[in-house]
Structure 1
Amino acid sequence: MIKEQRYELILKYLQGKSIISTNLIATDLKIPFTTLRRDLNHLHGIGKIYKMHGGVIATANPDIPQEYYIDEKIKLNIAAKKAIAKRAATLVKPNETIFMDGGSTVYYFAKQLDPKLNLKIVTSSAMNLQVLAEAGHKNISILGGTYDPFTGTIVGAEAVEQVLGYKIDKCFIGIDGYCDGKIYLLNLKFIKIKEALFAKSQVVYGLVDKSKFNFKTCYEFPNPKRIKIITN
């Protein structure tokens, strides 16, 4: 069996399943373990599956919402996220005040911003703060509050209160799921801060790659028409 056929077989096998051990995949599909490991590394690298402790899962599975650490998420669907980030960066004008949260696509957006635009940037992301500072941006603020290890962002009542003190021209946020014109988040604790951003931003852009289309979670975000979607 050629590798392309194995890739298709593995993805079909994972569809609709939760975390599956590599040993079980090798046994059920009768693929040698060393060959399977190479195949899984390839599929992980192109964002088709996600490797984690205990096994793997199909990243495009719409029935099993997962929450991954940000340093792992930025390795998925890189080409799509960079394309979205590049498009989003063209919307930013000199001297604007912008906000960016901690989504993995927003991380690539931060890398696209030109320091010569003289922006005032507010972020909830420690990772984005570092990216922006290293690029030479001078006017950067980060929210205070509770640190969330999955997203690498600041959340909580203190962060929400600080957002309400800003006047934001454009806001760029990550989205966990997008289906039938509705916005979905993986965790309820992010809704309050996004609601505050909606109240204080003239325009809100949602950065979402197509792997998150038709993906629903338990938390539907209200007023989705307020968000202008940017996708690949």
Structure 2
Amino acid sequence: MKKTALRRSKILEELESNGQVNVTELSREFDVSEVTIRNDLANLERNKLLVRAHGGAFKTNTIAIHVAERKKTNLDAKRLIGKTAAQLIQEGDSIILDSGTTTFEIAKNLVAFERLSVISNALDIINHLANSENIEVIVPGGYLRKFSMSLVGPLAEKNFKQLHCNKLFLGVDGFKADFGVYTYNMEEAYLNQFMIEVAEEVIVVADSSKFKKIGFAFIAGFNKIHKVITDNGIDEESLKMLQRNNVEVIVAK
């Protein structure tokens, strides 16, 4: 299962770089049958991550949107979520801000704090907070994943093991009912798991559109999540599902 997820993650990386992929070439590259590759592409298409065509697939705007453009998507909802999330932070807290457009909105609401430690692997968040005199910014290191402008990999994982924080604000790409939260990239999902282990409280921040999506890289089950902050577009079924799994839901207003 892990090999399958990793292969699909690599397919998406190639798709992002080249704009299209070819079944025969992928079969050779990963040393698997063309049937296996077609199954991979079918799965990714079901999750609206690509568009299949004869002999291969093309990228779709679902993941091909540049970071700057993604920040404009559902911006009003993300701003409300960011403001609401910041209200849960107390003076003297140490927090982790995961990479993502919604967590970036949290960072924009931290200027009033007089004493705060922020750990982040997101370059845009790090740059935004760099000139804040009262905020200690801790960067775990790693190598740059350009699509999300985030630091990932063994170095980041090793450094997170040495840390501890009061609250983790986690961005996700999708939910699976009664199971947990997902993202599109295996390496980011793996790093998120380290973040969860060092946090006293795990708070997922996601606009309501994320409840209609599911990535293929599993981050964590609902037993690891304490709160979800979302907007008032959340559907009743998703709301009840989270409550059924003992997750507190905060609707940003």
User: What TM-score do the two structures reach when normalised by structure 2?
Assistant: 0.64
1:117 and 1:177 map into 2 onto residues whose CA distance is: 34
Does 2:164 correspond to 1:180? no
Which blocks of at least 5 consecutive residues in structure 2 are unaligned? 1-44, 50-61, 232-253
1:230 and 1:191 map into 2 onto residues whose CA distance is: 19
Counterpart amino acid of residue 200 in structure 1: V
Per the alignment, residue 117 of structure 2 pairs with 120
For CA contacts below 8 A with separation 6 or more, give which structure has more relative contact order.
1
Does 2:9 correspond to 1:63? no
Per the alignment, residue 31 of structure 2 pairs with none
Contact 2:98–2:169 (CA under 8 A) maintained in structure 1: yes
Per the alignment, residue 16 of structure 1 pairs with none
Counterpart amino acid of residue 229 in structure 1: V
2:151 and 2:123 map into 1 onto residues whose CA distance is: 8
Distance 1:164 1:179, change over 3 A: same
Give the SS at the match of 1:143. Answer: coil
Per the alignment, residue 132 of structure 1 pairs with 129
> What is the deviation of 1:151?
1.1
Percent of aligned pairs sharing the same letter: 24
1:201 and 1:211 map into 2 onto residues whose CA distance is: 26
**1:143-199 deviations in whole A, cap 9, x for unaligned?**
211101111110001001111111111011110012314211111111221111111
Which blocks of at least 5 consecutive residues in structure 1 are unaligned? 1-60
Matches within 5 A, 1:1-232: 63-65=47-49, 66-67=62-63, 68-181=65-178, 182-227=180-225, 228-232=227-231
2:216 and 2:135 map into 1 onto residues whose CA distance is: 39
> What is the deviation of 1:135?
4.3
1:63 and 1:229 map into 2 onto residues whose CA distance is: 22
Give the SS at the match of 2:213. Answer: coil
**1:1-29 deviations in whole A, cap 9, x for unaligned?**
xxxxxxxxxxxxxxxxxxxxxxxxxxxxx
Q: For the aligned residues, what is the CA RMSD?
A: 1.8
